[in-house]
Chains A and B, each alone.
Chain A
Amino acid sequence: MAALLAAAAPIPAMAQTGYFDKPAPDRIIDIAQPEVVVQTLQEEGYKAVLNTPKDDQPYIQSAANGSSFTVQFYGCTGGKDCTSLEFYAWYKKTPTFTTDFANRWNSSKRFMSVSIDSDGDLALYQYVSTTGKTTYANFADDIDWWSQMNGELDKFIDEEDAKVAATPTAPDAKKR
């Protein structure tokens, strides 16, 4: 995925810094720990702020292509040792966002899925297992897929908007 940047909108850091300027891409990182994910997002050029609600699972507020997103952790114990994470964002309901629209995306694109929730908003998500650690390069690739597919979705929405003459509201991170 690292080589897919040709088609991409400007994305901070990745294209310029690449893996070669960073500490070993094959180093093992423990993405079950939210602070390690914060650090990796930051190393990849994203802002990342960790939130650890008292009675809930931790989540990170971040942004890609000018749109905010969250990384929601699941299966954590005391805010650590999580078993999976979800990249997540949503777009407010517009006439474009129908189940047919979501299905057209889902049947033609990879990694990032979308759905129309009970409010009619468009939810974007990508799940990753965090069990057993991974390489820096592999998690950077997950982040890259999420970012790339966000850019793709923006184009996809623009094309659909041209058909229905509607404007999507800027996305805003929220928890499901």
Chain B
Amino acid sequence: MMRPIHFVAAAAALFLVPGIAQAQDRAPCGAGMVCASDPETVLHALEKAGLKVTRSADNEGDPMISADGAAYGFDVYFYGCERHKHCDSLRFQIAFRKDGENTVELANKWNVSKRFIQASVPADGRFVVSYDVGTIGGVNQRNFADTVDWWQSMLGELGDFFQEELKLKPKG
């Protein structure tokens, strides 16, 4: 069964983009914009999308937001930060527990046929789905809301995909 690991996924999210220097966004977040450099703007935009959100910090002390979504709860990580501030991008992510069903072939099948969100099976055997958003220059509310909408609707498709591919019994 695909069970998400909520709040526990931070560790793996931090090893990405090795070999590239971290960037920061030092510009002030424009009025009405959503910016990783101003985590409250992200929090409020997620709330506006109807999600129940909790702000915390990941293992490195960078900002992190956990959200309860329609299909699955998910986490939003902040990247490209400098001393936990001036972050330049976001990563929406869910990690599902290690399971024999979490195969590289299953992830590739998703990636070939579905848009926006990416699936992978890191070395620790979890099944991870994610979507990255750059916020340099600011993202306006409508565009950010549409990205959240894409993320949530693709998570809904992910549930169907699991049921179909893994022959799970329908919910409820």
Contacts and interface: CB of A to CB of B under 8 A. Distances in A.
B40 interface: no
B143 interface: yes
A123 B140 CA distance: 30
A133 interface: yes
Interface stretch (B10-18, B46-54, B162-170): B10-18
A134 B21 contact: no
A43 interface: no
A136 interface: yes
B105 A141 contact: no
A123 B112 contact: yes
B156 interface: no
B89 A1 contact: yes
Interface stretch (A10-18, A52-60, A95-103, A161-169): A95-103
A47 to B, nearest CB: 23
A131 B142 contact: yes
A129 interface: yes
A110 B150 CA distance: 18
Interface residues of B, number: 47
Contacts of B142: 131-133
Interface of B: 15-21, 23-24, 30, 33, 79-80, 88-89, 91, 104-105, 107-108, 111-112, 115-116, 118-123, 128, 131-132, 134-143, 145-147, 150
Given A107-B121, A134-B140, 13 more contacts: A1-B89, A4-B20, A6-B21, A102-B108, A110-B16, A110-B17, A110-B132, A113-B118, A115-B112, A132-B141, A134-B139, A135-B33, A135-B138
25 contacts: A2-B136, A3-B23, A6-B21, A25-B137, A99-B105, A103-B107, A108-B18, A108-B122, A115-B112, A118-B112, A123-B112, A127-B116, A129-B147, A133-B140, A133-B142, A134-B137, A135-B139, A137-B137, A138-B138, A138-B139, A141-B88, A141-B134, A141-B136, A142-B134, A152-B20
